[in-house]
Structure 1
Amino acid sequence: MSDLTHTFTVDATAQEVYEAIIDVRSWWGATNIVGPTDQVGADWFYLVPDLHYSKQRTAELVAGERVVWEFTDGYLDFIADKGEWIGTQGRFDIASHDGQTRVTFTHEGLGRSDECFDVCHDAWRHYITESLRQRIATGQGTMRTREEDHAAVRQHATSRP
């Protein structure tokens, strides 16, 4: 299985990137998140009503290097296996080189053969390579609206064979 991965490079320090990642509300959803996202062992929740619910546990925080979340519960309304994310991990690897920092996000355990892959790939692409990148550059990400999330699901549903 090939895990879902997105990578980008920014003009920022590894510590600035790390601080942006753990400030999840600023790039994944200010009103969609409940709980502390910056404490090892803490559980927190992400919710888009009638579409997506996930419970994450922050498993690892290494300043300037890595952030790992364990997806411990979840519900994806738009696929048959509603709990497809349960038991997977989100991992951010941070590496500096020549004054820039590379961010690699990997949703471990979510691969091309999984039903939500196309929708999730599109959503993570937005939230990682656009919203998080924008958050690092400007201090504020570009979250999608609930309507935009629903439209993305509909788009992928109609393009499936």
Structure 2
Amino acid sequence: MTDTTISKSVFLPATRMVVWQYLTDPAKMERWFHPADAPLAEGQDYTLRNGRDGDRMCWGKVIEMRAPEYMKWDFTVGPMEGAMSTVEWHLADAPGGTRLTMAHAGLPETAEAFGLVLALDKGWHAFLGNLHVLAEADATGDYSATITVPATPETAKVAIFDEMDIWWSKRVDRSDNGVTVHFGGSHVSFDFAGDDDGGYHWHCRDANMLIEDVDDATEWAGTSLIWHIRPEPGGSRITLTHQGLNADLACHDVCTRGWQKYFETSLRAHLSGETPMPETR
């Protein structure tokens, strides 16, 4: 065991028990990290897999658990060639939510292995960013979903920004820093509001969504799309969060089904070499 340690802290708008479920429940782990073969349990071996093809990604044993405040793993990945490290998770109450601290210790110290340490540091940073987005969406009830595709992050970004006519709608009007997407007599307009490690932000400045039994066609105005594109072995993991699309909007059910069609199915197909299903009206 060495002294080389990666440490991260993140504040999450969720209770410790909700965060604990994200750290131990296979279905929830899959949304931000990697799916587990079984719920994590003290004294038991675990395996986390690639969500796209099921290959083993990380594995080890759960050394200690004290729900919902502390957990410690033995941990390794393929490039570590069987060498074990440890990952410790600390959950503490914070005003409005939870402070989650992760410490990944016992990493190799040689100059030759520094690239692996950098890759692990970058990976943990991205995964905890995913967790933050999901916890925030859970707190508000906003739409949020993740797809895994066999395309590079660069290819995924091009598809999202420049190829909407292939996977979303055939009728797209682009401007220097935004886009208007048309569906029949409806339209929605976005300004690309910038990008940072929190994702690519699109702000909806105008909407006229003609939906049966929805009186206010402008409901999308003021909401935002946040795209996270993270590298995965052999591809990318893309999370779309539609901030503001929740049960407070009359179009919630219809629009959620729309994202299931265009994002979860059509964009995934486009980036997987399959046939997408854009709106053609």
Do both proteins adopt the same fold according to a TM-score greater than 0.5, normalized to the shorter chain?
A: yes
Q: 1:74 aligns with which of 207, 213, 225?
A: 207
2:168 alignment counterpart: 28
Q: How does 1:10-29 map to 2 (within 5 A)?
A: 10-23=149-162, 24-29=164-169
Q: 2:218 aligns with which of 83, 97, 101?
A: 83
- In terms of Rg, which structure is larger? 2
1:108 alignment counterpart: 243
What is the percentage of aligned positions where both structures have the same residue? 28
Q: Is the 8 A contact 2:207 2:221 kept in 1?
A: yes
Question: What is the Cα deviation at residue 61 of structure 1?
Answer: 4.6
Task: Determine whether 1:53 maps to 2:193.
Answer: no
Q: Alignment RMSD, CA only?
A: 2.2
Report the residue type matching 2:141 in the other structure. S
Moved more, 95-104 or 134-143: 134-143
Question: What is the Cα deviation at residue 43 of structure 1?
Answer: 3.1
| Distance in 2 of aligned mates of 1:74 and 1:143 | 19
| Distance in 2 of aligned mates of 1:56 and 1:138 | 27
4+ aligned runs moved over 6 Å, structure 1: none
Q: How many residues of Structure 1 are paired with residues of Structure 2 in the alignment? A: 139
2:45 alignment counterpart: none
Q: Is the 8 A contact 1:18 1:66 kept in 2?
A: no
| Distance in 2 of aligned mates of 1:13 and 1:66 | 16
Question: What is the Cα deviation at residue 140 of structure 1?
Answer: 6.3
Question: What is the Cα deviation at residue 138 of structure 1?
Answer: 2.4
Moved more, 93-102 or 13-22: 93-102
Question: What is the Cα deviation at residue 137 of structure 1?
Answer: 2.0
Report the TM-score when normalising by structure 2: 0.45
SS at match of 1:133: helix
Q: How does 1:109-128 map to 2 (within 5 A)?
A: 109-128=244-263
Q: 2:230 aligns with which of 88, 95, 115?
A: 95
SS at match of 1:112: coil
Question: What is the Cα deviation at residue 91 of structure 1?
Answer: 1.2
Question: What is the Cα deviation at residue 70 of structure 1?
Answer: 0.7
